[in-house]
Amino acid sequence: MKSATQPALIFPETLSPATQALLDRAEALCTHQGARLTQQRREILGLILSVNAPVGAYDLLEQMKSPDRRPAPPTVYRALDFLLEHGLIHRIERLSAFVPCTHLLHDDHAAGCDHDHDHDSICLHTAQFLICRSCKSVIEITNPSILEAVRATCREQGFVIQSTSIEIEGLCAQCASQRKTPAHHHL
């Protein structure tokens, strides 16, 4: 229920139908998980989905400001924590920014876990990112063999995984094609 002092969302009419559909899908996923995508959480997720680039918490605060509204940083951080916890966004540590989880774009995501594993263990989605050092674009990739290699190494060490994020820095195809010097491979 919206209080009389809380202004309406400042942007829903500017969201594309595709973004609105993703927000509805996110809401269904939260409901499936027994959680609630509040109006504020939905607004923040909508902003992240609309930007098409990694966005920082203070950038979100700026976008949410209006003459009658100045959200506080803890409010945004609590919403971001919720969105992270429920797998709707990822934090790009290298950039101190957030991006939507591309798995939200798939129809089967709202149904919950979509892969085979022992359900006594954690359902682990490994965030794997290619980060362009030049334009700062971020591409989320999915390579199950990377997750399996991480799991095997952790089992060997007796290490219990709680979350994973793999960030690979380099140049995106567009920036690499604009570069005049040959690529250097550092592995």
Tell whether residue 172 is among the known ligand binding residues: yes
The answer to whether 175 is annotated as binding is yes
154 labeled binding residue: no
Residue with tokens 């700026």: 62
DSSP string across 50-109 = HHSS-B-HHHHHHHH-BTTB---HHHHHHHHHHHHHTTSEEEEGGGTEEEE-GGGGSGGG
Q: Which long-range contacts (CB under 8 A, 24 or more apart) does 161-166 make?
A: 161/122, 161/124, 162/122, 163/124, 164/124, 164/126, 164/127, 165/90, 165/91, 165/93, 165/126, 165/127, 165/129, 166/126, 166/127, 166/128, 166/129
d(CA 24, CA 32): 12
Neighbours of 22 (CB within 10 A): 21
Has 118 been labeled as part of a binding site? Answer: yes
Was 113 annotated as part of a binding site? no
Question: Annotated binding residues for Fe cation, as ranges?
Answer: 118
Question: Annotated binding residues, as ranges?
Answer: 118, 132, 135, 172, 175
Question: Annotated binding residues for Zn(2+), as ranges?
Answer: 132, 135, 172, 175
